[in-house]
Structure 1
């Protein structure tokens, strides 16, 4: 089969064998995959990754010896794989494998394997191009599972990248007054068209003035991917409020810890979420992700697709197998 291989910051298109199944696993034929910022960071050397990347995907179950009822089903997958003896949250299992990220080859290939227990069947009402957003949408929805959000809260999302937009749309389900702040009018319009209040700034420095003008918020989600984003989020949150750190930066982050202590601000890390909840959200039409798609490439155009995804400000790039 054909696959993409990351090694030493290089990208190779290789021919390799189909994955061999172990007990409880299924062989998946990939239909479509999305290029994520995490994939870009892996290419730069994040985690010291070497292997087949790709963790946002939709696939057809081709082989499933232990659960043949899954054969032919269109599926997405929870990417976190814990040892079968682990009884806690697989997202935080010590030594866990993560599809396309850590110790488990991913979806930038014609085939991959995954535990049947990680699979979620996609209903016919959900388009494949929407279902491929299940993993990032689950991450966006995770904020609402960590924080009790009420309709009267003042909620802000900083950053109009793909995850920032998805997070604002996800929070909009629970709170009608979510404010999304970013620097790109065209991206903000994707959220605005679905009822999210938006504010476009010309520079990051304008955030300090904006904090004074708009006052403090009960909940601020940092989704800028910038090393300075968390510090700005702390400027916006009220005393005893909550900041959710949704993105990471490979550069060190400096914050005013005195302000966090004196104002008794809670900082909550937020990562992967519930794939089932994300699919249900798509099935019920609560969020339209189509505006986030910028381009779709064929698999043999992967290098061009990846270059496109690396362009600053690009939206979601999909690769069809």
Structure 2
């Protein structure tokens, strides 16, 4: 099969690899469509010490092999990305496999991803896709789940003053998710991107505008400047949610955090079931974020396009 793989100290390239087989407790999924995430671009630049393997963790496809659960055969699915050991206290307890100390992460850590014709995953990660949810929307399930995680972790009261920093893909989805409870302000530096959120009903502001302080600030830039901005924009006793990983160490004015009694919340993967429903009902609409769709054969060009300043979402299709 074809796979867009990353080898140590080399650029991502499309190669032929053996088609995987589903083992005990696993399903093989024929990938239809996959989304390029900023994490994929960071990995291609050497993030996390150099991932080697097939990239990609956002996808939709159909199950074509599942020896232990034949009821999944033929079903369209999306899948969660954290593969825990299922034996430790975290996996078996309330913390869950997302924080297993031995976990693999699809296309990110120790496990091949979805920029390929097929991917093999544990059955427990699968979620069925409704018939009325097309692939172009279903492929956004993983990042929409991450956006919804904010409201799992932090109570957002109706009408709350909330700001989202960063008008990229994740910031856009978080803003749409927050619209279900309040009218957030998306703060960014690109008028065309801000216009997308404004059309959905959000308030928008260019970075240099003064909008006062907010009780909740979601930092979605993944930059040290964004972190400083979040601390400047949050009110005393407010909350900052850190939604993006940072490349390298960052500096934070911890004295200000202490004096202003600011709560810092790290946020990562989120719930798939409500994400699927949000996409099905169009309460979250990712279509305006799609910049281009490439064939898998054009995988390296797709990554180049996704890394172009101003570009939002790039998708890959396998032709399945």
The total of aligned residue pairs comes to 311
Residues 1-321 of structure 1 aligned to structure 2 (within 5 Å): 1-7=1-7, 8-47=9-48, 48-85=50-87, 86-88=91-93, 89-175=96-182, 177-201=183-207, 206=208, 210=209, 213-321=210-318
CA distance in 2, matches of 1:153, 1:2: 48
After superposition, give the CA deviation of every residue in 1:229-274 in whole Å (9 maximum; x if it has no partner). 1111011111110000111221432221111010000010111101
- Runs (5+) with no aligned partner, structure 1: none
Deviant stretches of 4+, over 2 Å: none
- Please tell me whether the aligned partners of residues 237 and 263 of structure 2 are also in contact (alpha carbons under 8 angstroms): yes
Q: Structure 1's 100 and 319: CA in aligned 2 closer, same or farther, altered over 3 A?
A: same
Q: Is the 8 A contact 2:31 2:61 kept in 1?
A: yes
Q: 2: CA distance between counterparts of 1:142 and 1:35?
A: 20
Give the distance between the partners of 1:299 and 1:234, measured in 2 at CA. Answer: 41
Query: CA contact under 8 A between 1:220 and 1:244: conserved in structure 2?
Result: yes
Q: Is the 8 A contact 2:167 2:189 kept in 1?
A: yes
**Structure 2: tracts of 5 or more residues without a match:** none
TM-score (norm 1): 0.94
TM-score, normalisation: structure 2? 0.95
Q: Name the Cα RMSD after superposition.
A: 1.1
Question: How far, CA to CA, are the matches of 1:53 and 1:306 in structure 2?
Answer: 11
The answer as to whether partners of 2:159 and 2:181 remain within 8 angstroms in 1 is no
